[in-house]
Amino acid sequence: MADDPFALFDTWYAEAKGSEPNDPNAMALATADAAGHPSVRMVLLKGHGPDGFVFYTNREGRKAGDLHANMHAALLFHWKSLRRQVRIEGAVTLAAEAESDAYFASRSRDSQLGAWASDQSRPLDARETFEARVEEVRARFEGGAVPRPPFWGGYRVTPRAIEFWQDRAYRLHERRLFTAQPDGEWSEGLLYP
Ligand SMILES: Cc1cc2nc3c(=O)[nH]c(=O)nc-3n(C[C@H](O)[C@H](O)[C@H](O)COP(=O)(O)O)c2cc1C
């Protein structure tokens, strides 16, 4: 019987929170566009569980364009302090509106205003242009709550495979690959390092 990969992830993530100098929730997100061209960038994990791993972003940026053309992605955590890596691959769905609303509401006001002001992935002529837009939205929402922009929200990567890599002596690294089965169970195999 395979161990539960989500329980193992929780254990490693808790250990990373205790040992990483910053951003234990930072993960590389790899996408590919309609032509199959890959791209990768860092995002922050903001929710996770058996239904998937959630990050938030501008839904008009490059990664969103890739995802809307090809709803598959890969995630990679590298916890250097622990010499561990976790790779996740799966299908991507939009987070529920209420879920995105709740997360947006939990952010600092400056982050909320930044989400409104950012034209992510588009060229910017000068830093001052962005700062002027932040001031413009600050004035627009003065005295009230900042609503979630319609172009900003979450994505969930629902894994079909999760691989845990642990550094071991003599380069005998340990790799455990969990693969989702059609019946919803997970099967586990060891890989050569
Ligand atoms: C540690 C770290 C965390 C980041 N987290 C996020 C994030 O959660 N969401 C996001 O949209 N961009 C995040 N970024 C910025 C992205 O890496 C990227 O520059 C931006 O989202 C534009 O990506 P795109 O043009 O591929 O859409 C983060 C960058 C770093 C270095």
Give the model confidence (pLDDT) of 169-188 as tens digits: 777 778 999 999 999 899 99
pLDDT at 112: 96
Atom of ligand 1 nearest to the CA of 46: 8
138 in active site: no
Which residues sit opposite 30 in a β-bridge?
40, 74
CB of 73 within 6 A of ligand 1: the answer is no
pLDDT at 61: 94
Task: Give the confidence band of 2 by pLDDT, cuts at 50, 70, 90.
Answer: low
52-58 and 152-166: which strand pairing? antiparallel
Q: pLDDT tens across 23-77, in order? A: 999 999 999 999 999 999 999 999 999 999 999 999 999 999 999 999 999 999 9
The residue whose two tokens read 């003065």 is 142
By C-alpha distance, which of 41, 155, 42 is closest to 100? 155
CB of 46 within 6 A of ligand 1: the answer is no
Residue 78, judged by CB atoms within 10 A of its CB (0-12, 13-18, 19+), counts as middle
CB 74 within 8 A of CB 162: no
CB 11 within 8 A of CB 81: no
Q: pLDDT tens across 100-140, in order? A: 999 999 999 999 999 999 887 788 888 898 889 989 999 99
Sequence length of the chain is 193
- For residues 154, 40, 65, 129, the Cα torsion angle rounded to the nearest 10 degrees is 80
CB of 45 within 6 A of ligand 1: the answer is no
How many Å lie between the centroid of ligand 1 and the Cα of residue 120? Answer: 9
Q: pLDDT tens across 142-168, in order? A: 999 999 999 999 999 999 999 999 988
Residue type, 190: L
pTM for this model (two decimals): 0.95
Nearest CA residue ID for atom 30, ligand 1: 42
By C-alpha distance, which of 62, 44, 64 is closest to 54? 44
CB of 118 within 6 A of ligand 1: the answer is no
How many Å lie between the centroid of ligand 1 and the Cα of residue 189? Answer: 32
CB 75 within 8 A of CB 88: yes
CB of 44 within 6 A of ligand 1: the answer is yes
Nearest CA residue ID for atom 12, ligand 1: 43
CB of 120 within 6 A of ligand 1: the answer is yes
Catalytic residue among 41, 62, 83, 171: 171
